[in-house]
Structure 1
Amino acid sequence: MWGFFLMLQAACNSFATLSVLRALAGAAEACSDPSFMLITQMWYTRKEQPLRIGLWYTANGAGIALGGLLGYAIGHIKGALASWRYEFIIIGALCCIWGIVIGIFMPDSPVTAKFLNQREKRIAVERLKSNQTGIENKHLKGYQVIEAFKDIKTYLLFFLALVGNIPNGGISNFGTLIIKGFGFSTLVTTLMQIPYGVFIILSILTCVFLNDRFADNKRCLFILLFLCPNIAGAFGLRFVAEEHHVGRYFCYLLTGPYNAAFVMILSLQIANTAGHTKKVVTNAVLFLGYCTGNIAGPFFYKTNQSPAYPLGIWSMIVSHLLEVVVVITFWILMKMENARRDKIQSEQEGGLEGRDLDATAFVDLTDRENLNFRYIY
């Protein structure tokens, strides 16, 4: 459906029809990342999840890089239609084809995987015991919905997604215009997106592989580390003189690692929420923040401020600094809660070593209900 609505946009001749189709395409797209996160959670342990999320999230960088190359090629098509119409048709068709492939070959959980035999399915499920996040449950549980909205983590994750994607909303919509302001032609500007996409891929892979080297992961730490280039790049775009095109372009490249930080934020959400209904609700709230940030971001880029867009650049700086504050808050709260649970269980008969982890591993309990659950930060 996403690809279908993209292809239809090639036939648009008015702002109204384009707006309607863009809204429908957005609605169709909305299920992708939340679905990928839930599927990742059903297949991998909490320690394995950041690396796996990072691997499929590199598609964002690949899309920017290949999209730049494809856009440059499509821009040279001399046909009966305008080049932008060909872009919608070609990319929409590719999306439709891949949707069919996903529908046929991608299982939604180990239990339904046709390429696993019964023994392998059992192993795939058993290895997730340490997650303490339960298994898929098709029943909506009202108390888990209420708990999700009473949990401070839900609001911290929403705010993280919001402030993390205000810069994304601006850069993704105005990145090419910022580069064009450096003095490049429209088609060359499209090509200059390729290094940006490659840098995003390298940032994500570096982040998730380094994080994977730590026994307990250091997700909040790596969010903070990979926000540093963004903050530096945003300050550079604001204060490096406009005539220094090369320097400003490198500052623009430095705004890419926010993707690596966002991968870590996604991994925080799925690792720290138990109870299937609560996971789905928290997932939805996080992506509401994601969408709100992407909606808000472009409004900071005023036409009369081009090509420097000072207000837009300041929105990036402030958003990332707020993100730092929220990440540190999340880190402290999760550490305190783990210490509280350790203290409670150490005073019980058998102590921490005597906990019955098997009893709660596959029960549909929330992270608040399950005292055996420990938060990852």
Structure 2
Amino acid sequence: MGTRLAQTELQANNPPVGIAIGGVLGYGIGHIQGALPSWRYEFIIIGALCTAWGIVIMILMPDSPVTAKFLTNHQKRITVIRLKDNQTGVENKTFKPYQVWEALKDPKLYLFYVLGTVCNLPNGGISNFGTLIVRGIFQDKLLAAVMQAPYGAFIALSIGLCVYLNDRFPNNNRCKFVLIFLVPNIVGAFGLRFVDSSHHAGRYICYLLTGPYNAAFVLILSLQIANVAGHSKKVFFNAVLFLGYCTGNIAGPFFYLSSQAPRYELGIWSMIVSHLLEVVVICLLWFMLKKENTRRDKLQGHEGLTAEQILEKRRTEGYDRTAFEDLTDRENLNFRYIY
């Protein structure tokens, strides 16, 4: 019991590589025969590693490109200049209440909160109860722990593939990729719900397919960052998205009733419904952002122009100037949304 709880607690807070390594570590630590229960060794060892890595990050990681000691002054200027194209401005420590008020009136804020919730409601459940679901397949708690390694590796590969494709394709494909990477999750969740318990391999494959939602969430984070300008507004958006993240992770485990172990029918249905709601919200966000871009193109007379003509027109309209001002995405008509 203790080993399973420790393992699920680790999964709830670990990235995919952490899940994979945590599964192997959990298997190894589970064999320790010492004065303490094995689950306590897991907390001690993993906690010590996390503490040590936290100290490394605190010392070495800069809070912005400007303070990065490993960059030359020329490289620092390049990182700032690259912000010109996305028109999101540069960091401004001055709090501007009007930007927060604008955020509260922006429909995107509530859509990103819902996305943060429905994306992470499955995470709150599957990360805490995944080992128990796998144990219901393999009937061995240590084997269930080590079988999390392929799950974490599959998530890491999904995220890597998602980022690679997003980099290779032009802008305004992110919503499309979110939907693509949600398909395996929906298929896997339906499989966990309806594939018979006797089909162990099939159920485990379905469990693996529930992992790529992490890749979809990575793109949702990038959508939020790319589509909000104005430092105070951006910080407020970040906080609200994180609030949705916490809401989903808190609520998720409550759908997994001990009386339904190991199939957890209600928990699996919560995954299915959450992913379907995510599809609806992404499509709505896609429609809104595309519509607003079209409106701005008409307003600025960019319709029918080539990319080179638009760039030349923007140079004469103060495009470079607005790039480095602390303007919100609604204030800055040169801003274009990424969808």
RMSD: 2.0
Report the number of matched residues. Answer: 323
Structure 2 alignment gaps of length 5 or more? none
Structure 1 alignment gaps of length 5 or more? 1-9, 11-17, 30-58
Q: Distance in 1 between matches of 2:73 and 2:302?
A: 41
Q: CA deviation at 1:319?
A: 0.7
Contact 1:64 1:196 survives alignment (8 Å): yes
CA distance 1:330–1:83, change in 2 (3 Å): same
Equivalent residue for 1:137? 92
Q: Distance in 1 between matches of 2:326 and 2:121?
A: 35
The reply to whether residue 69 of structure 1 matches residue 19 of structure 2 is no
Matching of residues 352-371 of structure 1 within 5 Å: 352=310, 353=313, 354-371=316-333
Equivalent residue for 1:39? none
Contact 1:62 1:198 survives alignment (8 Å): yes
Equivalent residue for 2:190? 235
Q: CA deviation at 1:105?
A: 1.1
Matching of residues 222-371 of structure 1 within 5 Å: 222-346=177-301, 352=310, 353=313, 354-371=316-333
Q: Distance in 1 between matches of 2:149 and 2:70?
A: 36
- Pick the aligned partner of 1:194 from 131, 149, 160: 149
Contact 2:289 2:337 survives alignment (8 Å): yes
Q: Distance in 2 between matches of 1:183 and 1:205?
A: 29
TM-score, with normalisation over the residues of structure 1?
0.82
- Pick the aligned partner of 1:78 from 30, 33, 54: 33
CA distance 1:239–1:364, change in 2 (3 Å): same
Amino acid at match of 1:373: F
TM-score, with normalisation over the residues of structure 2?
0.91
Q: Distance in 1 between matches of 2:72 and 2:16?
A: 35
Deviates more, 1:156-165 or 1:208-217: 208-217
Amino acid at match of 2:43: F
Q: CA deviation at 1:93?
A: 1.1
Contact 2:24 2:149 survives alignment (8 Å): yes
Q: Distance in 1 between matches of 2:186 and 2:78?
A: 44
Amino acid at match of 1:169: G
Matching of residues 113-132 of structure 1 within 5 Å: 113-132=68-87
Question: What secondary structure is seen at the aligned counterpart in 2 of 1:346?
Answer: coil
Contact 1:220 1:327 survives alignment (8 Å): yes
Contact 1:211 1:217 survives alignment (8 Å): no
Moved over 4 A (4+): none
Equivalent residue for 1:373? 335
Q: Distance in 2 between matches of 1:182 and 1:176?
A: 10
